[in-house]
Structure 1
Amino acid sequence: MLESFSDAAHKVVMAAQQEAKHLGHKYIGTEHILLGLLLEETGMAAKVLDSSGVDLGAAREQTENLSGRGGGCSGLICTELRFTADAKSVLELSIKQARHKGHHQVDTIHLLLALLLGSDRMVTRLIENQGADVNKIRAQASHIASYAYHT
């Protein structure tokens, strides 16, 4: 599935995995993808989130408050983190969004758009808890994805 992802989008997925491990989670959820987007600072998604007031530190803290800390990873469990059903759906939707917008590769803006269109309530809560407007971010991401190809 990830073969159609740009380098920046791959970095987001890898960062999401690292964030999950850091929190001791044995899965990669939509909240980890959001953190990965914020970490890939050169990506257009991070710029949109930052301009909307979504902060990485606050998102990490809220993720830990809402999801808790896991018991940690060891051995195969750490190397074999699996995507939750919601996270997998977001990755699949990002591919559809990229194609719908006429792009051959999934980039960070497509991941953000997919998170905001097809995500569980976790991501929207993380964003709204920081005072940002999810609908405004979604519209901005859709506009950017429609008119230009950005990382």
Structure 2
Amino acid sequence: MFERFTEEARATVVAAQEEARLLRHASIGAEHLLLALATRAGTPVAATLARFGVTPDACRTAISPPEALDEADAEALRLLGIDLHAVRERAETAFGRGALDRPPAAPRSPLLRRAGISARLPFGASAKRALRLALREAVGLRSGVIGAEHVLLGVTALDDPAVVGLLRRLGTSPAAVRSALLSGLRPAA
């Protein structure tokens, strides 16, 4: 199937893998495809997404919200008898500075690093389904290739909870994005 992908669609899949890796996720999901599409600045697909507030930074935040507890969280824990600052201080005294911070990304193999190759993340079920739907969208639109626009149509047709939730957090819906993209794809009469 990937032989039918345009260069832009292939670049999107590669970018999705890199985004999943940077977010320290174990596999590539449909949400990473959406994020990757938003990162492709200057493309019609990225422009459509940006009109709905689906930007790379907004997507990254919506996919992996900050893990740090704020003062309201600390106050709620204090009411339960837990002093968050004291817990952090004890952990850092026992295990070193930053002991409770997010673990670093797994190091790549030195052999792969020397060859300029990064270990590939597997496609999750939602990403696989989105790419199959992208093929169906391309066929339905009578396109001989699968472009980035078809990938976005596949992602928005999926009804994946991660994608739906992400778009809702950004103030839109798969149906709205899909409708705008399709109206942009239709030739002017």
Say yes or no: TM over 0.5: yes
Q: 1:94 aligns with which of 131, 134, 137?
A: 134
Q: 1:104 aligns with which of 144, 154, 162?
A: 144
Structure 2 residue aligned with 1:139: 179
- Any idea what the Cα deviations from partners look like across 1:81-132, whole Å, max 9, x if unmatched? 1100110011111011011101111111111111010141111211111112
- Any idea what the Cα deviations from partners look like across 1:34-86, whole Å, max 9, x if unmatched? 111011123221111111222211110111139xx78633338x513110011
Structure 2 residue aligned with 1:64: 64
**Radius of gyration: which is bigger?**
2
Contact 1:101–1:146, Cα closer than 8 Å, also in 2: no
| Structure 2 unaligned regions, length at least 5 | 67-101, 113-117
Structure 2 residue aligned with 1:6: 6
Detail structure 1 runs of 4+ shifted over 6 Å in the superposition: none
How far 1:23 moved relative to its partner? 1.2
Q: Percent identity?
A: 30
Greater percentage in helix: 1
Letter of the 1:144 counterpart: G
* Change in CA separation of 1:63 and 1:70 when aligned onto 2, cut-off 3 Å: farther
Figure out how many residues of one structure are paired with residues of the other and give that number: 145
Letter of the 2:128 counterpart: K
Is 1:123 equivalent to 2:180 in the alignment?
Answer: no
Letter of the 2:124 counterpart: T
Report the aligned-residue RMSD. Answer: 2.2
CA distance in 2 between partners of 1:79 and 1:133 (Å) = 33
Letter of the 1:41 counterpart: A
Contact 2:12–2:40, Cα closer than 8 Å, also in 1: yes
Contact 1:12–1:40, Cα closer than 8 Å, also in 2: yes
Contact 1:90–1:119, Cα closer than 8 Å, also in 2: no
Is 1:79 equivalent to 2:127 in the alignment?
Answer: no
Q: Structure 1 length as normaliser, TM-score? A: 0.85
Q: Structure 2 length as normaliser, TM-score? A: 0.69
How far 1:30 moved relative to its partner? 0.9
